[in-house]
Structures are given as structure tokens and as C-alpha cells.
Amino acid sequence: MVIKTEEELQGMKRVSEAVALTLQKMTAYTQIGMSTKDIDEYGRQLLGALGAKSAPYETYGFPGYSCISVNKEFAHGVPSDKVRLKNGDIINIDVSAELAGFWSDNGCSFVVGEDIQGVQHLVDTSKEILLEAIAHISGGVKIADIGNLIETKAKKAGYIVIRDLGGHGVGRSLHEEPSGIMNYYDRHDKFRRFRKDSVVAIETFISTKSAFIETAADGWAFSGSKGGFVAQHEHTILVTSSKPIILTAANGITT
């Protein structure tokens, strides 16, 4: 959406703070031995207390209130009481919600316990690239140039990017234009630019082996088509004429 009034700005700030605080508290709550269903239930309670409604549950009939993915499944994972966290697991929690007609989205990957799978560098790289990409966004910047930055930084760090997932506009619904804010340089995307006062969700998908996704038998969870691990980090931001405003800064990804 494009912010046109102070009321719209305050609405986006409220819902973004709700999803950000929920994600931050869910991350802090996560412990070895918990099931992903336990974590999701905690997130449901947090969103409810803030007056927010889960976006995937309300919009897509998703069988959970947040997407929680573990190890080789890196996105859209269905919370389950059968998936219990072990020392060294890499987990991704993605929280999106609606509040008073406004929508916001954020997510992060992190390691539970000790880094026995050697993925902390991947996680750190994903976070660092997200923050650098956001720092380069302002009104008039080409969308493809941000994809080029993400891809270039990932390759320099020894990784590749997932090419069929990306960021998106958000605000009055969960997914809006501009769609397909990709993690790579799309030479065909010559004209699209970020618009001042627009709200977008910027997210990284940094991978050790796979460039494309594979959908699980449950029809929801994504893993890499060639295996490996993927780290994702996501902020909802307000594009300005200079430095963007990170609306979901309370999730802690910026620190």
C-alpha cells in the first residue's frame, strides 16, 4: 500500500509492532525439547492479546497461526506436536497478522542451542544482507538493483539465493504489489522502482545448495530442490525519500 494519511501510518505502525513483538517473544520462548505446536500456540496467545489475527490462518486457511520451519524445511512449515526441537536445529518463525484492517509481515531464522550443524554463518549472513538491502532502498531505486545486491552479497559469502521466493508489498492485505521483490538480479525487470511512501516486506532467502523450492507432501512446507539449508529474515518497511523506516524493528533483527 501507499501511505496517504496519518491514520494509515499509525495503523501500519500498530500492526507492525504487534507482529514484531510476537516474533521477538516467540524467538526468546523457543527451547530445546519444545514442539513447534507449543511455540505456535504461544504466538497465537500473543497475537490475541494484542488484538491481532493471524494472517496465514485467516487468509489461506493455514493449519497454524505462524509458519514454523525446522532444518531442511525453511518456509511455510506447519506447526506440529510431532516436531520437537533438538540441540543445533535451525528454525524459522514467520509471523504475519491483521489488525484493524492493516497487515504486516516479518520472520527470522536462528539456531536452537549449539551450532552443531555449522549454520550460524548462514543465519548471520542472511540477517546482514537483509539489513544492507534495506539500507539501500528509497523512493526511485530500481527493485532489480536490490535483488542484485542480495545475490552479489550472498555469492561473496559462499552462498546462493532462492530464486522463486521474494518480498512483496503489504498493507491492506498480506500480499500486494509490488510482488516478486526477488533475491537475484532479474534483467527483465527494467522499469519497476520502489515508490516513496509505499509499504513493502523485504526478505532474504540465502541457501547453501538450492536455488529453487520444493513443496512438501502436506502442500505447505518448502525445502530446497537440491537440499541444503536456507536462512530467511524479513522486515516490513516504509519507503521514504531517504532512509526507510523499519516498521518491524521491535523483532530484534536490527540488533
What are the binding residues?
76, 94, 105, 168, 175, 203, 234
Place of cell 543465519: 123
- The answer to whether the beta carbons of residues 243 and 196 sit under 8 Å apart is no
110 C-beta neighbours (distance < 10 Å), count: 19
Determine what percent of the chain falls in helix, strand and coil, rounding each to the nearest 5: 30, 30, 40
Can you say which residues are annotated as belonging to the binding site for substrate? 76, 175
* Residues in contact with 251: Cβ distance below 8 Å, sequence separation at least 6, in sequence order: 19, 20, 21, 23, 24, 27, 106, 108, 235
CA 108 – CA 170 distance, rounded (Å): 18
Specify which residues 235 forms β-bridges with: 202
Which grid cell sits at 171?
A: 498493507
CA 95 – CA 109 distance, rounded (Å): 12
Peptide bond just before 178 cis, omega within 30 deg: yes
Stretch (H or E) spanning 90: strand 90-99
Q: Which amino acid is at 44?
A: R
Q: Burial, 29: exposed, middle or buried (Cβ in 10 Å; 0-12, 13-18, 19+)?
A: middle
Can you say which residues are annotated as belonging to the binding site for a divalent metal cation? 94, 105, 168, 203, 234
